[in-house]
């Protein structure tokens, strides 16, 4: 009996000693690995963290981080909308002048996306995204301190160029990490969650503007940008499996020769970002026409944007059960119906808060469901040019959005009728191009 107890104690002691030795070895190896990562430098002289996350060598990007990355550019665009009248008063400028803070931001996003796609195909998603976020943070800080409307507009353009990196690369990373069918579902989920940014953004912007002034918005953007950049440096892996040529002109010419890609791209642009016509007109519809406070404008926008995650969730559930082209046509038809109803309300001078919000909620449900299907279909046409396809698609989206904001200001009518006219025209064109794309794909 005594020998059994002694043997058991001896075994426990040896086991404990072995485990302690293993743990010590593991810690030494981990410390050596960290030191090695800190010493590693690639052929161009950049440290390894430029390409590898510091916390772990992950094979897939965390979903929460993709949401933060893609929401960066859209949040900066939407959060400023409810305080445009306050900013106009602060600078002593007209409504059309301050609306350029949105229009030029859209042009900046459009132009930047043409660059990020091929650059990320050539140099990788992670280093390109780190550089973009750093630019975004610096420009946000400058915009918050702008003393003139000119300085603000210049800073907004640079902010847009930095922020659009997340829009392009977020989509590319999703497509890198999944096959076409899974990518549609993941893209829909990403759209559903990231739509909270443009939905909540105006509500938060309205409250911040009312309590702390419109400049406080940029302090919030700087803070969130720093947090997102930290998450990318720590946890985002490189997802590009191969390196493309990075030749922008050649890549874009190749894509533009694809009628299927162009159909999905133009259809997606006209269906989704024509919404910016309503975006820039809404504060003046509710404030000037319906005499509602700025805080209410943000809440109304939140109600409308609530339809986007609902539609995106529906698309994610239907992606594996309904053919993508059928789903795309059906969901874009819902958006068209909402635009037609809003036009009828504006044309008959029946503008009230419920009569505006109802059709726009229907519109946002259709857009939320159609957009991820269109994006996935477009960037899947050329698997070796995912980054370039994502960039060109995003360029067309934002260029269309910018032109729509300009059109609203040029139409000599009240803001409700001007926005409704642009919205309906865009949705009709979107349906036309989707029809061309789906017929071409079927053939």
pLDDT of residue 345: 92
Q: Is 216 buried (19+), middle (13-18) or exposed (0-12) by CB count in 10 A? A: middle
169 vs 220, more confident: 220
Q: Is 440 buried (19+), middle (13-18) or exposed (0-12) by CB count in 10 A? A: middle
pLDDT tens column, 404-413: 888 887 777 7
pLDDT of residue 33: 38
Asked which of 5-14, 83-92, 184-193, 329-338 is least confident by mean pLDDT, the reply is 5-14
pLDDT of residue 227: 92
d(CA 378, CA 375): 5
pLDDT of residue 36: 42
pLDDT of residue 309: 80
d(CA 259, CA 250): 16
53 within some domain: no
DSSP reduced 3-state for 20 = helix
pLDDT of residue 441: 54
Percent of the chain with pLDDT over 90: 18
Q: What is the mean pLDDT of residues 130-144?
A: 92
Q: Could you tell me if 55 and 64 are in contact, meaning their C-beta atoms sit under 8 angstroms apart?
A: no
pLDDT tens column, 358-383: 999 999 999 888 888 888 888 777 76
pLDDT of residue 340: 94
pLDDT of residue 187: 66
Q: Which residues pair with 41 in a beta bridge?
A: 47
Q: What is the mean pLDDT of residues 338-367?
A: 91
Q: Could you tell me if 405 and 102 are in contact, meaning their C-beta atoms sit under 8 angstroms apart?
A: yes
pLDDT tens column, 66-115: 888 888 888 888 888 788 888 888 888 877 788 788 888 888 888 887 78
50 within some domain: no
Q: What is the mean pLDDT of residues 416-440?
A: 88
Asked which of 41-50, 240-249, 317-326, 376-385 is least confident by mean pLDDT, the reply is 41-50
Residue of 352, 398, 439 whose CA lies nearest to 73: 398
Q: Which structure tokens are listed for 262?
A: 């162009």
pLDDT of residue 222: 93
pLDDT band per the 50, 70, 90 thresholds, residue 55: low
Mean pLDDT for the chain overall: 78
430 pLDDT above the threshold of 70: yes
pLDDT of residue 237: 77
pLDDT of residue 122: 76
Task: Give the domain range for residue 191.
Answer: 62-442
pLDDT band per the 50, 70, 90 thresholds, residue 241: low
132 pLDDT above the threshold of 50: yes
234 within some domain: yes
Of 113-117, 221-225, 249-253, which one has max mean pLDDT? Answer: 221-225
pLDDT of residue 29: 37
d(CA 100, CA 153): 7
Q: Could you tell me if 285 and 416 are in contact, meaning their C-beta atoms sit under 8 angstroms apart?
A: yes
pLDDT of residue 38: 40
Question: What CATH number does residue 384 fall under?
Answer: 1.20.1250.20
d(CA 63, CA 383): 22
354 within some domain: yes
* Residue 92 backbone dihedrals phi, psi, to 5 degrees: 70, 40
35 pLDDT above the threshold of 50: no
Asked which of 213-217, 245-249, 430-434 is least confident by mean pLDDT, the reply is 245-249
pTM > 0.75: yes or no = no
pLDDT of residue 30: 36
57 pLDDT above the threshold of 70: no
51 within some domain: no
188 within some domain: yes
34 within some domain: no
Count of structural domains, the chain: 1
d(CA 342, CA 307): 15
304 within some domain: yes
pLDDT tens column, 252-285: 788 888 888 889 999 999 998 888 889 888 888 8
60 pLDDT above the threshold of 70: no
């Amino acid at each position: 009996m005594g020998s059994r107890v002694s043997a058991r104690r001896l075994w426990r002691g040896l086991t404990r000693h072995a485990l302690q030795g293993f743990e010590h070895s593991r810690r030494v190896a981990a410390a050596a690995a960290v030191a090695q990562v800190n010493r590693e430098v690639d052929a161009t002289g950049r440290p390894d963290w430029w390409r590898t996350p510091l916390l772990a060598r992950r094979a897939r990007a965390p979903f929460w981080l993709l949401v933060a990355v893609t929401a960066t550019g859209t949040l900066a665009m939407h959060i400023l909308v409810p305080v445009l009248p306050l900013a106009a008063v602060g600078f002593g400028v007209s409504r059309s002048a301050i609306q350029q803070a949105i229009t030029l931001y859209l042009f900046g996003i459009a132009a930047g996306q043409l660059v990020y796609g091929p650059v990320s195909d050539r140099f990788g998603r992670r280093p390109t995204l780190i550089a973009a976020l750093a630019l975004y943070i610096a420009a946000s800080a400058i915009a918050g301190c702008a003393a003139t409307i000119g300085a603000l507009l210049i800073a907004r353009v640079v902010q847009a160029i930095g922020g659009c990196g997340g829009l392009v690369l977020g989509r590319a990373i999703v497509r890198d990490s999944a096959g076409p069918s899974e990518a549609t579902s993941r893209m829909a989920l990403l759209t559903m969650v990231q739509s909270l940014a443009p939905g909540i953004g105006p509500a938060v912007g309205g409250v911040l503007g009312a309590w702390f002034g419109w400049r406080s918005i940029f302090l919030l953007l700087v803070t969130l940008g720093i947090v997102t950049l930290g998450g990318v440096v720590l946890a985002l892996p490189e997802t590009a499996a191969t390196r493309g040529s990075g030749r922008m002109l050649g890549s874009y010419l190749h894509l533009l020769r694809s009628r299927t890609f162009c159909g999905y791209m133009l259809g997606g642009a006209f269906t989704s970002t024509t919404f910016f016509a309503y975006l820039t007109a809404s504060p003046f519809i509710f404030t000037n026409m319906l005499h509602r406070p700025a805080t209410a404008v943000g809440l109304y926008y939140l109600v409308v944007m609530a339809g986007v995650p609902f539609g995106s969730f529906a698309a994610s559930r239907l992606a594996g059960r309904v053919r993508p082209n059928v789903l795309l046509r059906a969901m874009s038809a819902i958006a068209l119906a909402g635009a037609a109803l809003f036009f009828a309300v504006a044309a008959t001078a029946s503008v009230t808060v419920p009569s505006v919000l109802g059709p726009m909620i229907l519109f946002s449900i259709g857009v939320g469901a159609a957009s991820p299907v269109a994006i996935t279909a477009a960037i899947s046409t050329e698997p070796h040019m995912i980054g370039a396809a994502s960039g060109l698609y995003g360029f067309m989206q934002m260029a269309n959005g910018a032109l729509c904001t300009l059109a609203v200001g040029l139409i000599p009518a009240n803001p409700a009728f001007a926005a409704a006219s642009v919205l309906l025209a865009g949705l009709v064109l979107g349906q036309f191009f989707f029809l061309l794309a789906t017929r071409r794909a079927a053939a």
